[in-house]
Amino acid sequence: MARHDKRLKLHGFNNLTKSLSFNIYDICYAPSEQHRGEYIEYIDEAYNAERLTQILTEVANIIGANILDISRQDYDPQGASVTMLISEEPIATEKIGYTEGPGPGPLPETVLAHLDKSHITVHTYPESHPAGGISTFRADIDVSTCGRISPLRALNFLIHSLESDIVIMDYRVRGFTRDIRGKKHFIDHKINSIQNFLSRDTQDRYQMVDVNVYQEYLFHTKMLIKEFDIDQYLFGMGKEDYSPKELKRIERLLQREMAEIFYGKNVGRI
């Protein structure tokens, strides 16, 4: 029996733009000014521009993209950014010959590439406030591709690569592409939730909420870590350094911080 090929036969290049955006949060309790400073230093070292470049390079490999250019920066006093220009098509080089007669000499090789308006970016925002002793690290990641390659393939790798108590994700498909008959296609793959593309261990680790607008090809998923071990959130100190009463108070502070970020609104004082 002949195999039925369900792939779309397109006229020209696939012009669909697929964008995946992350907000990833890591939270800890750092009560003293010294501990807060040490936390910021730890985050800046763990997620500096060089490490973030390594993560984004692996993302490009996973989704099958070719890296055209990288720009990165560490900031003072804290934070880092990396922007990576990528393409679906491989970079091609072509020798265009030499100049005859008196002139500037041999011409350099010309680099030719199809720029697909694709990019990967990451920006980090470590922050703390002395009022409650809570420090929060946020990383904003955007993976935007044009063509057949999909940022969803890097979903699980990104979640596993960053310490994440809360993950807020948006996925959107924009534009359209035409098949050989001229019919427009506004999406080229099946999806009803970002959760469809999450690994089983990620689904088991987080509680999730979806807000999807199917007619607009817009998908939104929020994830909050399920298990809470307060010893994992005490920066520079351990449970033995606090009384049971104080640990209960700190636990309420941490859980309130997570709830406020997850639901996007402030709650009452504890």
* Catalytic residue (one of 28, 35, 87, 118): 118
Question: Active-site residue 28, yes or no?
Answer: no
Q: Which helix (H) or strand (E) element contains residue 58?
A: helix 49-63
End-to-end CA distance of the chain: 68
- The whole-angstrom distance between residue 67's C-alpha and the CA centroid of its chain comes to 17
Q: Number of C-alpha atoms within 13 angstroms, CB side, residue 109? A: 7
Burial of 16 (0-12, 13-18, 19+ CB in 10 A): buried
Distance CA 141, CA 231 (A): 28
Are 141 and 21 a contacting pair, CB within 8 Å?
yes
* Catalytic residue (one of 146, 150, 161, 164): 146
Burial of 233 (0-12, 13-18, 19+ CB in 10 A): buried
Distance CA 218, CA 173 (A): 7
* Catalytic residue (one of 19, 21, 123, 193): 123
Angle (nearest 5°) at CA 88 between 175 and 72: 100
Question: Active-site residue 114, yes or no?
Answer: no
Question: Active-site residue 4, yes or no?
Answer: no
Q: Phi, psi (5° rounding) for residue 35?
A: -65, -40
Burial of 104 (0-12, 13-18, 19+ CB in 10 A): exposed
Tell me the catalytic residues: 118, 123, 146
